[in-house]
A and B are shown apart, each in its own frame.
Chain A
Amino acid sequence: MSVAPVAIAGMGCISAAGRNLPDSMKSLLRGERSPAPPVRFASDHPVRFPVFEAVDFEEPPDLLRTGAFALHAAREAVADAGLDRKTLGALRVGVCVGTTVGSVMSEETFCRGYLAGGDPDMAPFRRILRSNPADVIAREFGLSGPRQTVVTACSSSTDAVGIAGSWIRAGLCDAVIAGGADELGRITYIGFISLMITDDSPCRPFDKNRKGLNLGEGAAMLLLASEPALRRSGMRARSFLLGYGSAGDAYHLTAPRPDGAGLRSAISEALATGGVSPASVAFVNAHGTGTPDNDRVEGRVLQDMLPGVPFLSTKGYTGHTLGAAGAIEAVFTAACLEMGKIPASAGFETPDPDIGTLPVREVTTVPGSCALSETLAFGGNNSVVVLGRA
């Protein structure tokens, strides 16, 4: 059942942790994090919940912030792969991007105007139609391959990376720019508060006293390429996508299945397709949102399926970036494999006996050549990728 590895030739990312991947990794290893109430938008909610707003970057005015994030990370990934536009244009390159808000027809100013009985300006609506993140990247680089925007909530960009590997193995593309992007705005902020799963202090994934998540925003892109494309274009494999698995809980719209059956299936499929045994896993970059339900289910599954394998959540550094989370965490995972070490799981202090296992509390050396990055989504989809060191 194992599948052929697919090379990852370039990576890029932006979030609260940094404007690019090297800066982000330095920040993570220094243990820096600075969640704060949002400054880009206001809310009349009496509690000011902290969030992780991304560092400033150049935003094209005609795009939604999500599309701009996607483009920023894609440019870094393409440059990291050592490709110029001409070389890229000579390949069949697809785009597969996960998002949650990147193609949603909701714009508050427009809706307020309509509700007030006016005829609001259509510019925001047109901007949404222009900003589908896969289209934005395909247009920017003049790409000829398939394009797909995955909107499976928080597993979207893990799925996008897995799908990209499938397209390359099937011969649909020479290369794929795959990843995720999501912006943070009032609608998302208010929505998560309404669900009562946000923490009013900096998030504490897997901690006994965790109260919920902090939202974040950003993007990450990976440039995956076939072996012939690597050779033809002078790229080198920076790491590998070894395996991918996904499975549904079929349980609840917003809560994970208590027995973690969907996550177990996803991990099993990812390990099997990657041809990887549990004993050879160096570490797990967990979903670890900091919500009581997610961390309890995920921690128990890890304890059961991968006992003794070090794990962490990087959401303590970036917040929960929703549709971008899977990709951001995948590039962090690949970068950690390269460095042979992982940062401390930020926010964790007090062990939770209800989980029965602990994330790493300090920068930790991780010998080994492969690692897992996993995501759990609203709607019950669980997705896992296995990444390998080059």
Chain B
Amino acid sequence: MSGTGRIVIEGVGAVGGFGCGIADLSRALADGDVRPGSLALSPGSGPVEFAAFRADTSRLKEFVPARDLRRIDHFSRLALLGSHLALADAGLPESERHRLGVIVASGYGATGITYAFLKSFINDGDICASPTYFANSVHNSAAAHISILLGARGPSLTVSQFDLSVPSALLCVREWLLEGRVDRVLFGAVEELSDLIGYAWYRLRGASCSPMTPLWTEKETAIPAEGAAFFLFSRAEEARAGYCTLETAIVGSPANAGFPLPGSGLLLLGADGRRETGRRYAPLAENARIACYSPLYGSMPAGPAFDLAAAALILKGGRIFPSPGGASLDFPATVPAGGEPVGTDRISCLALADDGAFGLTTLGKLPDSQ
């Protein structure tokens, strides 16, 4: 492919516990405070209610007629809303969607409707299994609904790599554009907090409490979450305007490959209050300038996509947001107070998996001419 080889984020759309749209996310980042909602469950041990970041998809009706949403579940609605917000933010007209690729990352997939499908035959027998629930339970249902409703006939891909779903999928965003397979990629990550996932969370981690302090690794402070963060990527030559460039996307294991952290710039950590994962970040962030915004959107495999959105907003606005969980002695690093100039052309977003694998995505400031 000819051209600069630069990839640009043209639009961002996000929905989560902080609200809906880039304005709500910007406000949350500036304020440094989002109050979580809650999730109520009735497991065998008795009713329980705990803090959880829930997302409201009611604004989807601004973009999609209600009749088209009748059989679409919460998981796909989250993704559809994120997609439409990103496209609207970028101002991409319908006439330019024919060479649009769709890539969706999700750690857990459509768990709510999967659970509903299981209930349909557990309660009423195998012959009563719901075909609608089954069809919507496939992991790529969100990408399929996006392609169908947008009329996007480029390639479609869904990636599920748990905590590394986002950086792993970004490898393909980059290659699709650099290879010239598509003109644009609508990329996003989505997670729903279904009863099933909420219950599993409760059993594995206990009832979460507020607030999240991800840079304090001595205690578990993660709050489960749902939401979607989507981006419209394009080659710089075709981009109208944008937030920043996608410089690199790296996924690997540090076991024998070294760890390619940037020497300067801002490092945005994907730490999200899970104690065992948080401890892995601390030594890697040594002496770096770090920030962490997960207390604004919670803990979920799609979290790195929200980190990416925060980094894009910083690079566009030129100022760092405060890290809501505050600094910590556990992290021998500099945590900017917030409000100061970003002072760098690059921000790297680091995500770690339980087994030590990593994803490192670096965004860059747009040249002044872009």
* A, B from the same assembly: yes
Question: Which residues on A are within 8 Å of B, measured CB to CB?
Answer: 1, 3, 43-46, 89, 92, 100, 103-106, 108, 111-112, 114-119, 122, 125, 129, 132, 134-135, 138-139, 142-153, 159, 163, 166-167, 170, 172, 186-187, 190-196, 246-254, 261-262, 265, 269, 377-381, 383
| Segment of B119-127, B214-222, B261-269 engaged in the interface with chain A | B119-127
B179: A residues at CB distance < 8 A = 3, 166
Q: Of all chain B residues, which has the CB nearest A45?
A: B126
Cβ B135 vs Cβ A195 within 8 A: yes
**Among candidates A46, A143, A250, residue contacting B148 with C-beta atoms closer than 8 Å:** A250
Cβ B139 vs Cβ A151 within 8 A: yes
Complex CA gap A269/B179 in Å reads 12
**Among candidates A119, A139, A147, A269, residue contacting B45 with C-beta atoms closer than 8 Å:** A119
B64 within 8 A of A: no
Q: Of all chain B residues, which has the CB nearest A379?
A: B144
B156: A residues at CB distance < 8 A = 152, 246, 248, 379-381
| A119-B203, A170-B175 as given contacts; A149 in contact with B118, CB under 8 Å | no
Whole-angstrom distance between the Cβ of B359 and the nearest chain A Cβ = 9
A261: B residues at CB distance < 8 A = 153
Complex CA gap A125/B139 in Å reads 17
Q: Of all chain B residues, which has the CB nearest A112?
A: B122
| 10 pairs of residues in contact across A and B, judged by CB atoms under 8 Å | A100-B139, A106-B115, A108-B118, A108-B122, A145-B251, A151-B140, A151-B158, A152-B143, A248-B153, A381-B155
B43 within 8 A of A: yes
Q: 5 new A-B pairs (CB below 8 Å) besides A150-B157, A187-B118?
A: A105-B108, A105-B114, A105-B200, A106-B111, A195-B135
B364 within 8 A of A: no
Complex CA gap A148/B359 in Å reads 11
Q: Which residues from 325 to 370 on chain B have a C-beta closer than 8 Å to any C-beta of chain A?
A: 353, 355, 357
| A139-B355, A142-B255 as given contacts; A253 in contact with B135, CB under 8 Å | yes
A251: B residues at CB distance < 8 A = 148
B141 within 8 A of A: yes
Complex CA gap A138/B129 in Å reads 36
A-B residue pairs, 3 tightest by C-beta: A379-B144, A151-B139, A144-B257
B284 within 8 A of A: no
Q: Of all chain A residues, which has the CB nearest B149?
A: A250
B122: A residues at CB distance < 8 A = 108, 111-112, 115
B172: A residues at CB distance < 8 A = 148, 163, 166
Q: Of all chain B residues, which has the CB nearest A46?
A: B127
**Among candidates A112, A122, A150, A195, residue contacting B131 with C-beta atoms closer than 8 Å:** A195
A146: B residues at CB distance < 8 A = 168, 171, 250-252
Q: Of all chain B residues, which has the CB nearest A188?
A: B134
**Among candidates B109, B137, B196, residue contacting A191 with C-beta atoms closer than 8 Å:** B137
B38: A residues at CB distance < 8 A = none
A115: B residues at CB distance < 8 A = 119, 122-123
B187: A residues at CB distance < 8 A = none
Cβ B162 vs Cβ A129 within 8 A: yes
Cβ A44 vs Cβ B125 within 8 A: yes
B9 within 8 A of A: no
Q: Of all chain A residues, which has the CB nearest B114?
A: A106
| A147-B164, A148-B159, A167-B171 as given contacts; A250 in contact with B115, CB under 8 Å | no
B204 within 8 A of A: yes
B250: A residues at CB distance < 8 A = 146
B141: A residues at CB distance < 8 A = 253, 379
B79 within 8 A of A: no
B91: A residues at CB distance < 8 A = none
Whole-angstrom distance between the Cβ of B204 and the nearest chain A Cβ = 7
**Among candidates B118, B199, B251, residue contacting A106 with C-beta atoms closer than 8 Å:** B118
B26 within 8 A of A: no
A191: B residues at CB distance < 8 A = 117, 129, 131, 134, 137
Cβ B168 vs Cβ A147 within 8 A: yes
A265: B residues at CB distance < 8 A = 153
Complex CA gap A134/B357 in Å reads 12
| A106-B115, A152-B143, A190-B126 as given contacts; A144 in contact with B200, CB under 8 Å | no
Cβ B153 vs Cβ A144 within 8 A: no
Cβ A380 vs Cβ B144 within 8 A: yes
Q: Of all chain A residues, which has the CB nearest B127?
A: A45
| A194-B129, A195-B135, A253-B144 as given contacts; A144 in contact with B255, CB under 8 Å | yes
Complex CA gap A104/B169 in Å reads 17
Cβ A148 vs Cβ B204 within 8 A: no
**Among candidates A166, A186, A190, A381, residue contacting B140 with C-beta atoms closer than 8 Å:** A381
Cβ A377 vs Cβ B257 within 8 A: no
A150: B residues at CB distance < 8 A = 157-159
B160: A residues at CB distance < 8 A = 103, 132, 149, 151
Residue among A43, A148, A149, A254 facing the most chain B CB atoms (10 A cut-off): A148
Cβ A132 vs Cβ B131 within 8 A: no
Complex CA gap A254/B131 in Å reads 10
B178 within 8 A of A: yes
Cβ A147 vs Cβ B161 within 8 A: yes
B2 within 8 A of A: no
**Among candidates B44, B109, B129, B144, residue contacting A118 with C-beta atoms closer than 8 Å:** B44
| A151-B109, A193-B129, A250-B153 as given contacts; A269 in contact with B181, CB under 8 Å | yes
Complex CA gap A192/B117 in Å reads 12
B206 within 8 A of A: no
Cβ A148 vs Cβ B147 within 8 A: no
Q: Which residues from 251 to 310 on chain B have a C-beta closer than 8 Å to any C-beta of chain A?
A: 251-257
Cβ A148 vs Cβ B168 within 8 A: yes
Whole-angstrom distance between the Cβ of B225 and the nearest chain A Cβ = 16
| A150-B157, A249-B153 as given contacts; A117 in contact with B168, CB under 8 Å | no
